[in-house]
Amino acid sequence: MKRMILTSLFILFGFLSILSLSTLAIEAEIGKSAPDFTLPDSQGKSHSLSDYEGKIVVLEWLNHGCPFVQKHYDSGNMQKLQKTYTEKDVVWFSIISSAPGKQGYCTPEQANEITKEKDGAPTAVLLDPEGTVGKSYGAKTTPHMFIISKEGILVYNGAIDDIRSTNIDDVNKAQNYIQMALDEQLAGKDVSVKTSQPYGCSVKYKN
Amino acid sequence: MNRGMDKTKGPNSHILVFFLAAFFILFSGLLFPKDLKENALQQPVEARLVAEVESIKPGTQFCVAVWLRMEEGWHTYWKNPGDSGLPTSIEWDLPEGFVAGDIQWPYPHRFETSGLISFGYEGEVLLLIHLKAPVALKSGMLVRLSAGVDWLACKEECVPGHADLSVELPVREQEPKTDGRWKEHFARTQKNLPKLLQQWKMSAALDEEKIVIQVFPSFPFHQRMTDIVFFPEQEELTEYSEPQNVRNFKRGYMVEVKRSKIAVKLPNRLKGVLYSPEGWDRMGEVSALRVDVPLHRF
């Protein structure tokens, strides 16, 4: 009897570990519920995606050392998008998934400092040094952008725009996917371009 | 420009500034050798435009290349850079009548950084381009071929680079001689270009989860090959970080590649490179096959 219980415990444990592994492997998929998360921001406040039901949420993967990110901040493009859409009640999270010691990693103080210096205007800068949220969304590059609908559905996954370069002059020539998708969402329409290949530096995850 | 400043500083300050600037430009190398060294590290790629031939024959095609040499640990990118990065690009500035073909990319290497995959080159690489010379060229004249080259170099971190390159070649009526300095480089690169071999029959199909590529030789070929790698030319189609499943059959080989969840529109053809360290011919000289086949649904 004792053996049977032990065996069934073993089997149950096996199942559980398989389950937990497979949930880890699930990446964010368009048209499905966006993975929930809880992360601290640079001010020490905790944010869960589920707190923002009923609002459109933008996730922007960030590393200020990356030349692709610099293109969108030095041109003022990213800050402009952040200002424009947070004023329209969109929640904008800039997420740093760089591991300690790697490019782009920030302590809360450093994150506040650089956000101020760059005149960044997101709702909050979230810190993900373990990379768990980055990996659950399949964030590959900085920048890599995601948009979540008011219903909590992932409606956009991809690049910020359609010109892959580090050249500031390209910002105004490019078709901005985020602007397009957010305007569509705010007008109650479906997002027309739901995915694109993200471009940028690799996210500096922990080894 | 600023008149207020001129008034406060007076005209003499200009001369002083000029001498100070000249002094700095002349001696900065001696004064700040460390800074210069850091600059060299900041740009880890050396670039040149090189020609395979010593002269141009009017009306003929010839081969040139952008040569890139990366410092240790750094890489530049293939036409599909992978999860991150940017392919090297060339903008030509050619004399009238010259026509440049597309970049011919040698098969890439796979780089992994914290679970993310890049496709590119380390060490050195030649990106080959065929140029066609116009018929109306006068023998004896000197032709200057110029190109602006942009690349992204990454180690753990990334540095974009740009160089305006040029090479000068004389026009001669006789058959051009090969330039001995770059002969080996061009030969090695030609060898590493993906080839279409008639003796290999290829097909590709996909379902919800994966793409399956099958290759069969139509000649006696019994090499066991377990390290075949598919490099996808198309983006958004496959998951780069997922392991590829290689199987050897009696009659051929199969590679299973996991599909990307990003892809919304599916292409009708599959394009890319099949690499095998053992080689696809009996001499083991062709390491990379070009893949360009219809992509069927299962």
CB pairs under 8 A between A and B: 68
Residue (of B288, B230, B238, B241) closest to B258 by Cα position: B238
What residues of chain B have any CB closer than 8 angstroms to a CB in chain A? 83-86, 113-116, 118, 150, 152, 154, 156-160, 235-236, 261-264
Q: Rounded mean pLDDT of B146-163?
A: 95
Tell me the three state secondary structure of residue B222.
coil
Nearest CB partner across the interface for B236, out of A29, A103, A195: A195
From CA A198, how far away is CA A179, in angstroms rounded?
15
Chain B residues with CB-CB distance to A131 below 8 A:
114
From CA B257, how far away is CA B264, in angstroms rounded?
17
Nearest CB partner across the interface for B84, out of A135, A196, A201: A201
Interchain CB contact of A156 with B (< 8 Å)? no
From CA B106, how far away is CA B108, in angstroms rounded?
6
Q: Where are the beta strands (DSSP E) in A41-179?
A: 46-48, 57-61, 91-96, 124-127, 141-142, 145-148, 154-158
Give yes or no for residue A134 having a pLDDT over 90: yes
From CA A134, how far away is CA A130, in angstroms rounded?
9
Give yes or no for residue B166 having a pLDDT over 90: yes
From CA B212, how far away is CA B295, in angstroms rounded?
9
Mutate to test the interface with A, among B42, B111, B116 (most CBs of A within 10 A): B116
CB atoms within 10 A of CB B278: 13
Chain A residues with CB-CB distance to B235 below 8 A:
197
Tokens of B58: 């009017």
Mutate to test the interface with B, among A70, A132, A202, A205 (most CBs of B within 10 A): A202
B242: exposed, middle or buried (C-beta count within 10 Å: 0-12, 13-18, 19+)?
Answer: middle
Q: Rounded mean pLDDT of B184-191?
A: 97
* pTM for the whole structure: 0.83
ipTM: 0.79
Q: Rounded mean pLDDT of B82-108?
A: 97
Nearest CB partner across the interface for A166, out of B84, B113, B152: B152
Tokens of B195: 């080839």
Tokens of B242: 């997922």
From CA B158, how far away is CA A59, in angstroms rounded?
22
pLDDT in tens, B11-25: 455 555 555 454 444
Contact B115, B91 (CB under 8 A): no
Give yes or no for residue A20 having a pLDDT over 60: no
Report residue B222's pLDDT band, with 50, 70 and 90 as the boundaries.
confident
Cβ pair A205:B116 closer than 8 A: yes
From CA A161, how far away is CA A172, in angstroms rounded?
10
